Chain A
């Protein structure tokens, strides 16, 4: 039979087997503390610990905090958490020994933590020291006195202290060595602080555990400046003069140890100058961002060939700093610069690297950065090869960075580079314009560079876009270009153009500029006009020359001499040849028949007489002849004047020549009347005009013989005669053509031989010139 105990044991085993869990883990890191309450220590004693091992809800672990006040009392409190507290009876057991441990137990076991046996005071955490004051004394600017009030009466125990301090804004604390701080004190004199510097000072105390820190902010007193002013200069060339504008500038000494009130300067231009010190008042403002204020000491014009030295000291309310000096060499006599200067941006800073120069007496370097009117600098040790600019640089601003070698106070030649801390796209595009009026197929584009403060980076290239005539083009030019000629443009076409200025970070587009190409190239119209004008002028000139050269002919043809009836008298003149009856033509003037006397007489014949020509052909073979009216005119310009004379406009005009103009044929043939078949002895009457006579009229015999020969010739050699006449006519035509006259028709040409026969004879005499009457 199974006993009850065995049943219980079995049940426990079953439960244990069924439960999923582990035995309790040993509590670790038991930490106990009693805090200060007002002026005493609280009787509440709190302990925390860490659990180890798996905690499950099936097998919960219970913790018991045991606190034994040796020789007095035991305290214990249980919890399932990781902290507990006991209340000492009425008072904290100062100076008594406490033994503390934590017991963990669950269904599967029990375990204790390590036992802590310590004086009760070792668990006390007091309040931090209060009423902290730091007094900086005028004569001990680097050793301010720190006072405080201890948080608890020293009868509770001697408090240890810890003190630390740092400059405002700095994360690095400086701790006073613990061995330097005695126990149970309420003041301490700090050492080795910087004058005129703001510090945060803190103190904490310890009875058992360290208290919290408590502190205050203070500023140490001023002291005499212990470093030199940071002296530098800017130099600008003066246009048109062999001078430089030199401006001496200075920053406060690094260890100004107070507010700099004045600078004392001394300028030495000659070797043995012994000048007095001048005092420069300093602007009262102090730098707010940790950067030292720059003061302008002296602004002067310095001849290129003259050197100058400036010495400066800085003064605060306590004293004067050591002296700094700067020597500016004559132009062209500077010491050699550094080599291989490189400038680049990395990690939010502008870095510089260089190779030292070969000059002796190198003492240090000065790194200068200039942006617009602002200049700043920093000094570097002579062994420096790589550094970063420590000043506050702005992004998107172009800096001219220079490295100067300093040789015992003499400034060497700079090595400079331009750089950006950070580049961006330009804020605006360039201003586009045409450099000149557009041409027919090309246009020269120009653009104004983007202002430096709006570039925000180095312009790498310009991309010129232009669109017109339905096409778009793009051209990329280097960033240092300011103009470009667009070619192969269509004439008389409107183009829109814009330019993108690009940096490595982006680009900005300009506004669109429009222009229209010319229809004609410049000067084309003028050349055409000039050409035409020249041609016209040439023609006119040639015509004038021709007219001058042929003026006689023209004169004869255009202005035939018409005898002035008013100056003529009737005279008798009888030739020795039989007269032939002629059939008067109806259209001829009574008593006067026109006779062509020119080679081209056929052409000079009046139109109205042309119908009569066939008739006249026969008539002319007779002894009767007649002189032509307007013969001179026919001579001169029969081509033109015929038509002109047809119009009858200029017939009355006579020339100064005295060509026989007319002869009166004594005929009884009136127009339309039948001529007398029996020729009678012709008695000519002629007017005694100043007109020269025709040969035929003067030598009628010759004329008859010639005419008879010619007629025989014609009869016998008609083809030849015709050919001659044709040749004559051709000559006439050529002459006419050369003068631009209109050729005659065939009929009139065919009639020419007969007319020309007699006319040629008479013309020939006329051709021979003037025959005085």
Chain B
């Protein structure tokens, strides 16, 4: 067999290989696009649901604060204006989306013990049929649902990065009634602020995280 023939075979082999490779690449690209599309949709759904729920909770927090104030008697307007220690920070921290999402989740989780603490206090202060108590329960449950939505959202985006659960919660020391009333109002008001921050972050994350992943997948 001469070299000419050998080179021809090689060329043919190369052509075939190239063709196959291209085909594989196209298939890979297409599958990635499909996966990306589904991931994108899922990403968007999470963000969307989280956004809607946070807005709902924001609205309910406004109503809840009104109900709380109405249930505390005189000088209730002043309660929310007092600064109280040991109330969780409502600000979202982090630069990266993963950090922000994790911050959202951990901050939400931090408020749940305080909600329970306020509920217990109000149980002593209010009648069993007081609408404040049912509203507090509903609001707390809704807030937990928001956290339950953030978690799979984060995990869908960052499956390999564990979501931090947050540190131990520091509840205030025993308080008198006035302090309890103030404390409860401050907790609700702070959480409302958190919800506002969460909504803002989620809106920006939607464009950042869900679109960027699509772009990344496309490049890949």
Interface residues in chain A, defined as those with a beta carbon under 8 Å from any beta carbon in chain B: 40, 43, 71-72, 89-91, 93-96, 119, 153, 155-157
Q: A737 CB to closest chain B CB, in angstroms?
A: 152
A72 to B148, CA, bound (A): 7
A157 to B49, CA, bound (A): 11
Our pick among A43, A72, A90, A156 for the contact of B56 (Cβ within 8 Å) is: A156
Within 8 A of A (CB), among B40-70: 49, 52-53, 55-56, 58-60
Contact B52 A95 (CB under 8 A): yes
A89 to B148, CA, bound (A): 14
Our pick among A71, A89, A156, A157 for the contact of B141 (Cβ within 8 Å) is: A89
Contact B140 A95 (CB under 8 A): no
Number of A-B contacts (CB under 8 A): 45
A71 partner residues in chain B, CB cutoff 8 A: 148-149, 151-152
B97 at the interface (CB under 8 A from A): no
A89 partner residues in chain B, CB cutoff 8 A: 141
B145 at the interface (CB under 8 A from A): yes
User: Which chain B residue lies CB-closest to A43?
Assistant: B138
Would you list 26 pairs from A and B whose C-beta atoms are within 8 A, ordered by A residue? A43-B138, A71-B148, A71-B149, A72-B148, A89-B141, A90-B137, A90-B138, A90-B140, A90-B141, A91-B139, A91-B142, A91-B145, A93-B145, A94-B52, A95-B49, A95-B52, A95-B53, A95-B56, A96-B49, A96-B148, A119-B49, A153-B59, A155-B52, A155-B56, A155-B59, A155-B60
Q: Is the interface of B mostly helix, strand, loop or mixed?
A: helix
B145 partner residues in chain A, CB cutoff 8 A: 72, 91, 93-96
Contact A91 B52 (CB under 8 A): no
B152 partner residues in chain A, CB cutoff 8 A: 71
Given contacts A89-B141, A94-B53, A155-B59, 8 further A-B pairs with CB under 8 A are A71-B151, A72-B145, A72-B148, A90-B137, A90-B138, A90-B140, A95-B49, A155-B52
Interface residues in chain B, defined as those with a beta carbon under 8 Å from any beta carbon in chain A: 49, 52-53, 55-56, 58-60, 137-142, 145, 148-149, 151-152
Contact A155 B141 (CB under 8 A): no
A400 to B52, CA, bound (A): 74
A153 partner residues in chain B, CB cutoff 8 A: 59
User: Which chain A residue lies CB-closest to B59?
Assistant: A155
Contact A155 B58 (CB under 8 A): yes
Q: B169 CB to closest chain A CB, in angstroms?
A: 20
A153 to B149, CA, bound (A): 22
Ordered nearest first, which 8 A-B pairs have the shortest CB separation?
A90-B141, A155-B59, A91-B141, A91-B138, A95-B49, A90-B137, A155-B56, A95-B53
B53 partner residues in chain A, CB cutoff 8 A: 94-95
Q: A767 CB to closest chain B CB, in angstroms?
A: 168
A43 to B56, CA, bound (A): 16
B138 partner residues in chain A, CB cutoff 8 A: 40, 43, 90-91
A40 partner residues in chain B, CB cutoff 8 A: 138
Q: A735 CB to closest chain B CB, in angstroms?
A: 157
A43 to B149, CA, bound (A): 19
User: Which chain B residue lies CB-closest to A158?
Assistant: B52
B139 partner residues in chain A, CB cutoff 8 A: 91
A157 partner residues in chain B, CB cutoff 8 A: 52
A228 to B93, CA, bound (A): 76
Contact A94 B140 (CB under 8 A): no
Contact B149 A95 (CB under 8 A): yes
Our pick among A72, A96, A155 for the contact of B55 (Cβ within 8 Å) is: A155
A94 partner residues in chain B, CB cutoff 8 A: 52-53, 56, 142, 145
B148 partner residues in chain A, CB cutoff 8 A: 71-72, 96
A40 to B148, CA, bound (A): 21
B137 partner residues in chain A, CB cutoff 8 A: 90-91
Q: B55 CB to closest chain A CB, in angstroms?
A: 5
Q: A376 CB to closest chain B CB, in angstroms?
A: 63
A71 to B151, CA, bound (A): 9
B60 partner residues in chain A, CB cutoff 8 A: 155
Q: Tell me which of A43, A153, A155 has the highest count of chain B C-beta atoms within 10 A of its own C-beta.
A: A155
B149 partner residues in chain A, CB cutoff 8 A: 71, 95-96
Q: Tell me which of B58, B145, B152 has the highest count of chain A C-beta atoms within 10 A of its own C-beta.
A: B145
Q: B112 CB to closest chain A CB, in angstroms?
A: 13
User: Which chain B residue lies CB-closest to A153?
Assistant: B59
A90 partner residues in chain B, CB cutoff 8 A: 137-138, 140-141
A119 partner residues in chain B, CB cutoff 8 A: 49
Q: A646 CB to closest chain B CB, in angstroms?
A: 158
User: Which chain A residue lies CB-closest to B53?
Assistant: A95
User: Which chain B residue lies CB-closest to A121?
Assistant: B52
B151 partner residues in chain A, CB cutoff 8 A: 71
A155 to B53, CA, bound (A): 8
A664 to B46, CA, bound (A): 191
Q: A463 CB to closest chain B CB, in angstroms?
A: 88
Q: A723 CB to closest chain B CB, in angstroms?
A: 170
User: Which chain A residue lies CB-closest to B45?
Assistant: A97
A89 to B53, CA, bound (A): 16
A153 to B62, CA, bound (A): 12
